[in-house]
Amino acid sequence: MNKILKDQFLIDQLSDNQQQTITQMNDYIGDSLIKNQHAVAIVQGAAGTGKSVILMHLVTKYMTDKRYKTALVVNHPELFKAYQDLADDIPGLNAKNILRPTALINRAQKNNWQYDIIFVDEAHLLYSKSEPYAHYRGKNQLTDLMALAKIVVVVYDFAQVFQSKMYWSKELLFQTIGNHPYKQFDMDFQYRMVASHDQVKWLDDLTAQKQLVPFPRNSDFEFEVFSTAGSLYEKIKAKNQDVGLSRVVATSGFPRIDGRHNVEMDTFSLPWDEWDPQRTHWAKRESSITQVGTIYTLQGFDLNYVGMIIGPSFGYDEKTDSMTIIPKKYSHKEIFKKRHDMNLTDEQYQDFIANVLNVLIKRGKFGLYLTAYDDALRARLVNLYQNNK
């Protein structure tokens, strides 16, 4: 089995919290299969809290048991590849039962298929509205999946919502579930990062536009702020040479220069990540060290070290001493699309942008190297870091 994927999704040593959650979920799944009430099991937690590990233990248990008709769906193309890879190495797990949600819904409705259990990873990426261009003509993918199964197991992180077409909130989730039975399983312990609680809170406060303070130094988690993207890249290349799985990532908003839409800053100039129709996902490809990762290739994946370039859509407010969000400089306009069924506020669109940064900034298990495109923001972060050495 691929070691990178095994370490991320199928760890051998579960924590007491994870084992207890799995036991409770097995009880709820078993009860729901008997009652046949189209129930929902919600696994909720922030990035790095072990949600996918819980899910894969359940997937391995039920999707290799021929007594049950099951499926696993995920709407993230890179994560879809990862699960296909895992299926090749898990006896009894058929890769044909791992699908994108639109594909499963359309095929099941056409053929009148019904399932015992449907597992949904990154359920916050399910469409919550019709998307005809993507061949989904329903109103809400969770509603459709619930109608197809005795129980749907969904993994949600509402802080990873960053597009209007995939907008989810707790209110919308429970409105969608309606009168169907459900049970929520909360994950609140950070497993991905070796960072302390205080350090994770610092990252959350940064993206929440709270007042900047020095980064806490109370764990083995490596943190460094760079005055140039070029020097940050050299550090990431060195880490990648030493331990692997170290990449540069960035948020949207970099201007086109001479027709190039690269990430360009001081001596640094690299293209954005490239979609690969093959099975190898972006983080595993050796060539990706010469590209800049985004939310579309890295959501759901662990790296060892992350080099984070905070893009032009983030600035600095000297009066509040905080990072600010500048939506007009965010160049990926997909997140700003309007919806006919709901009115999203300016604050919610800002939250989408903040969520993208929050997800990317937490990809690294062992360290984060940071810089910013905005001169004032970068200078403030560098000053805080240097005065806190």
* Percent residues over pLDDT 90 in the chain: 68
Integer Cα distance of 122 and 115 in angstroms: 20
pLDDT score for 2? 54
Q: Where are the beta strands (DSSP E) in 253-363?
A: 263-265, 268-270, 292-293, 303-310, 314-317, 322-325
Tens of pLDDT, residues 144-161: 999 999 999 999 988 888
Give Cβ neighbours of residue 367 (< 8 Å, ≥ 6 apart).
221, 222, 223, 224, 239, 304, 305, 306
Higher pLDDT, 274 or 229: 229
Q: 69, exposed or middle or buried, with CB in 10 Å at 0-12, 13-18, 19+? A: middle
pLDDT score for 1? 47
Integer Cα distance of 382 and 370 in angstroms: 9
Supply φ then ψ for residue 57, to 5 degrees: -65, -40
Mean pLDDT over each residue of the chain, to the nearest integer? 91
Closest CA to 300 of 94, 77, 126: 77
pLDDT at 172 over 70: yes
Domain boundaries, the chain: 3-187, 197-386
Tens of pLDDT, residues 336-346: 778 888 888 88
Average pLDDT over residues 339-362: 90
Tens of pLDDT, residues 40-79: 999 998 776 678 888 989 999 999 999 999 999 999 888 8
pLDDT score for 70? 98
Tens of pLDDT, residues 109-153: 999 999 999 999 999 999 999 999 889 999 999 999 999 999 999
**Overall fold of domain 3-187:** Rossmann fold (3.40.50)
pTM score: 0.84
Higher pLDDT, 311 or 19: 311
Tens of pLDDT, residues 202-257: 999 999 999 999 999 999 999 999 999 999 999 999 999 999 999 999 999 998 88
Average pLDDT over residues 167-188: 93
**367-387 core/surface letters (b: 16 or more CB in 10 A; e: else):** bbbbbbbbeebbebbbeebee
pLDDT at 279 over 90: no
pLDDT at 277 over 70: no
